[in-house]
Chain A
Amino acid sequence: MEPIHQSEEVELIRRARQRDDDAYAQLVTYFTPRLYRVVRRMADDSGEAEAIVQETFLRAWENLARYQEDRPFFPYLVTIAINLGRDQWRKSRFVDFSGLDSIEDELPDSETLLETQVEQAELLKELAQAVSELPPAYRAVIAMRYDAGMSYQEIAQGLQLPVNTVRTHLRRAKIQLRQALET
């Protein structure tokens, strides 16, 4: 799909805020694949991910009047989706962004895990699997940072956490991933 330029995105959002359904449909069509990718990283199955994506666009539509046009739209969508997911996952399993500090912080003295000769594609597949086994809070920051390409600041705003906590979560998530790939 052709990328939407910033000015075009702003214009589409402006029209959508005036309840122009066509403009919003263009935004939905453009952002759905990227948003799904982020949400799927966190959801247990594709059905759950689809439901969250749909609900995210509905919420965004309802709240367009309060949306600040100068902010990028995609991080806004991701924030809604992650918070929806948190609400949903809280019902089925414990998701706590603050309860992860006791996890061992030291990088094991492993030798050359990432310099091994494993095929990159296979390594990436294993990595994706390892991410799927991370605690949901870590998965969220990984998805927001690497799938959505959000800055630390944007993640912090979205999750209502201090930026340093986001950095810590990311670092610890990566340590866990290394450990998982080593075993």
Chain B
Amino acid sequence: MEPIHKSQLMDDLLAQMPGELPPPDLALRVCQAVRLHHRRTRQARLVLSAFLALSGLWLALPAFSGWLQAVWMPKSALPLAMDWLAAGLAGVEVLLTTAAAALSQSASIFTSLGTPAIAGMIALAISALLALDLLVPRREF
């Protein structure tokens, strides 16, 4: 066991040990590097967002008309609305039927869209998220 006073003295000496000062401009250079990195990251996100938006539109646009028809066609929407109304009146059983009908409706929409259109919509969604992230107001250096 080492003597306490020696250990304490070594602690004190180590705490007082001289350290090297950084170059005076180091903090400034670090700030510049962070700023550059931030700017490049934002630019890269912007480019990626634009690329995804264009690709998404290119993939999804052809299917949009069909998709809109599927969503807004009175023939398919009306029974659904009626089911919702019935659900309010008739209770759980009808609610389950309605949910099944909604799922079926949703599945039919996605089936009608096709894989490229779904991929396009995903690309559009990611692009929108990236764009939102970039649009959050942030101050520059």
Contact = CB atoms under 8 A, between A and B. Distances in A.
Contact of B37 (A20, A22, A58, A145): A58
Interface string A51-75: 0011001100100000000000000
Contact of B19 (A19, A28, A37): A37
Interface of A: 18-22, 24-25, 28-29, 32-33, 36-37, 40-41, 46, 49-50, 53-54, 57-58, 61, 107, 114, 120, 123-125, 127-128, 131, 142, 145-147, 174-175, 177-178
A33 B2 contact: no
Interface stretch (B8-16, B47-55, B79-87): B8-16
Nearest to A61: B34
A114 B14 contact: no
Given A36-B20, A54-B29, A178 B14 contact: no
Contact of B33 (A41, A58, A124, A145): A58
Contacts of B88: none
Contacts of A33: 21-22, 27
Q: Tell me the dominant secondary structure on chain B's binding face.
A: helix
B21 A146 contact: no
Contacts of A53: 22, 26, 30
Interface stretch (B56-64, B98-106, B119-127, B133-141): B133-141
B91 interface: no
Q: Tell me the dominant secondary structure on chain A's binding face.
A: helix
Contacts of B7: 174
Given A32-B27, A54-B29, A21 B2 contact: no
Given A28-B27, A54-B30, A57-B34, A22 B17 contact: no
Interface of B: 2, 6-7, 9-11, 13-23, 26-27, 29-31, 33-35, 37-38, 136, 138-141
A40 B141 contact: no
B107 to A, nearest CB: 36
B26 A50 contact: yes
A41 B139 CA distance: 35
B13 A127 contact: yes
Nearest to A123: B13
B3 to A, nearest CB: 9
Contacts of B11: 146
Contacts of B31: 24-25, 28-29
A32 B22 CA distance: 8
A18 B14 contact: no
Nearest to A60: B34
Contacts of A36: 20-22, 26
B20 A20 contact: no
A177 B141 contact: no
Given A18-B136, A25-B141, A40-B19, 15 more contacts: A32-B26, A36-B26, A37-B22, A46-B20, A49-B22, A50-B29, A54-B26, A57-B30, A58-B37, A124-B16, A124-B17, A127-B17, A146-B15, A147-B17, A147-B19
A50 B6 contact: no
